[in-house]
Amino acid sequence: MSNLKEKILNKTATLGVCGLGYVGLPLAVEKAKAGFKVVGFDVQEAKVNMVNAGHNYIGDVVNEDLAAIVASGNLCATTDFASVASCDCVCIAVPTPLDKHQEPDISYVKASTESIAPYLHKDMLVVLESTTYPGTTEELLKPILEEKSGLKCGEDFYLAFSPERVDPGNLIYKTKNTPKVVGGCTPACTDIAATMYEAVLEAPVHRVSSPAIAEMEKILENTYRNINIGLVNEIARLCNKMGISVWEVIDAAKSKPYGFQAFYPGPGLGGHCIPLDPYYLTWKAREYGFHTTLIENSMIINDSQPDYCVDRAMHILNRHKKAINGAKILVLGVAYKNDIDDYRESPAIRVVEKLLEVGADVTYYDPWVASFMEGELSMTGEKALTPELIESVDLVMVTAAHSNVDYALVQKHAKAIFDTKNVMKRIDNRDNIEVL
């Protein structure tokens, strides 16, 4: 048995987490709760200071858990990567966005790897968790780590990929009980990485034969959802033209106990993974002269959904003898999904941008997001959803299905409502409601 594996099993290993965001902080907390000493690394000093003060800023972390493990000394944070030298394992969980050309931006992964490499030591494990294209671990991380450290992967240190699986706001599956996939550069790398996760999580760990397999399976998970949401968004557009309720169609289809999984239409796709991951795959596929036609078509549909919603809003206003240019529109919800404060890649914000482009006078209310800044657009939401606010606008657009919004109040006072989430389906009087 390797010395590192023994240290993991008896929980004397020090575990590092690079990137203290939506993935990294919950991971660091679970490692500390499992009894390991954990060091968190982040380039943002504000995040480091909040962690060290025991102040939580991530919805999936329990405030009391963070405060307790920081107070116990099991978790600390720093901007100084020299502390990597004291770690036995380091997981990289940094953003992997798209650039302005819709191509993978792995600059954060590269920068993190370069920051770790000078302090890499023998019998150490490095795991990449950031979602990326197949080949990143072996083609990018491995050469940097070997060149800068003079150590050899699989002999002197261990390297693996284990994709993050984080669903913000999910009350059932959290970091601790979500099954993990692990693929190492060598069988020994896989074994050490899997042993580390098995010592931390309650969920099973699924071992695969290489980092590329693990990287591809993560892309498959989210591309599967992207394609099926694209399908149902297209069906919704057709149903609207035919005068059929797509929501009733889906409810009927999901009565079949096999061969069908329900997906639902909406104003578009949000979050860090589902809207972005297919672009990683299509970009990598071009290297092999392969065109991912089905995937690209689903992306076109989903990416155009905010435009479709604005077009539908224009027609609703037109039926009320009101032009969209100058119309007062209240957007209900700018978070990318219900009951969370996360607005990364939110389709609701893209709807707001499109409405502003056509001259609408837009305001928003979101009980979870008091204000937002996305690109060049920044807005502060209404403090309260009042009858006076609702009556003052020409159209209310529901773009997030938050459970703590009084939709009966909205229906009672709104001139017109465009419900893109079917959240008002139980409202009896539907004369002023139009559904996606």
Catalytic residues, which ones? 273
Name the β-bridge partners of 26.
none
Reference 2, options 181, 161, 196; nearest CA is 196
Identify the burial level of 245 via C-beta atoms within 10 angstroms of its C-beta, where 0-12 means exposed, 13-18 middle and 19 or more buried.
middle
- Residues pairing with 82 in the sheet: none
CA dihedral sign of residues 182, 186, 188, 189: negative
How crowded is residue 413: how many other Cβ atoms within 10 Å of its Cβ? Answer: 18
Q: Measure CA of the first residue to CA of the last residue in the chain; give whole Å.
A: 59
Minimal CA–CA distance to 141: which of 99, 180, 106, 165?
106
